[in-house]
Amino acid sequence: MTDAAAPASRGLWITLEGGDGAGKTTQAELLHRWLEAEGRRVVRTREPGGTEVGALIRDIVLHHRGDVAARAEALLYAADRAQHVETLVRPALDRGEVVVQDRYLDSSVAYQGAGRVLDADEVRRLSLWATGDALPDTTVLLDLDPASARARLDADDKPFDRLESEREEFHLRVRQAFLALADAEPARFLVLDAARAPEELAAAIRDRIRPLL
């Protein structure tokens, strides 16, 4: 284990991806606790909304009740991402910290590329341009079928945001896009069945992260 008083020259960047209701928040919290117990300094964040600017963008893309054009939505996510990486993620990595992040560019490729039926390659290039080609060290994909995910969201008894309220066909496209991304980059992705018990998933994630520390 690396001594917390002498961090590595660059930290570790971990992102969690998956459809709404897959359990990303739960796993991010469990991972955060474990990393701190291991003596690592952790920055836990999310997209959209990880910065003050991002919080304003999050309110637009997830809670605005009027129509938002698909390309405008993609641009808003990219703007949030540019601010987030520049002002929060890169500085944390430069300090040798571990960044645990809920969603990154893979969500844009899945939701705006496949879900909104935009060109997925263009959406990815937009995010890479916005962030100076920044990619995480590892990405955990929590895979869950949309019907099970919707049941979880219903059980939470909270209002759905703009994306959560989309039809099942939308979420099916998103799921397939995530799996295709994982197939294309197996070295970066860890794909887990999100129907498994939370502690089982947390153990599998720790097994993946431990050698990277």
Segment 95-114, tens digit of pLDDT:
999 999 999 999 999 999 99
- Is 37 part of any domain? yes
Residue 115 DSSP class? I
Which pLDDT belongs to residue 67?
Answer: 87
Which pLDDT belongs to residue 162?
Answer: 66
- Is 3 part of any domain? no
Report the pLDDT averaged over residues 137-145.
97
CATH of the domain at 193: 3.40.50.300
Give the list of residues 6+ apart from residue 118 with CB closer than 8 angstroms, or none. Answer: 70, 71, 74, 112
- Is 125 part of any domain? yes
The total number of structural domains that make up the chain: 1
Residue 164 has pLDDT above 80, yes or no: no
Nearest residue to 50 via CA among 21, 90, 19: 90
- Is 145 part of any domain? yes
Mean pLDDT, the chain, integer: 92
Which pLDDT belongs to residue 179?
Answer: 98
Which pLDDT belongs to residue 149?
Answer: 85
Tell me the Cα Rg of the chain: 17
- Is 128 part of any domain? yes
Which pLDDT belongs to residue 4?
Answer: 40
State the residue range of the domain holding 93: 12-212
- Is 64 part of any domain? yes
Place of tokens 């690592």: 40
Take residue 64 and report the two structure tokens written for it.
């605005």
Residue 7 has pLDDT above 60, yes or no: no
Which pLDDT belongs to residue 10?
Answer: 85
CA 18 to chain centre: 7
Which pLDDT belongs to residue 161?
Answer: 64
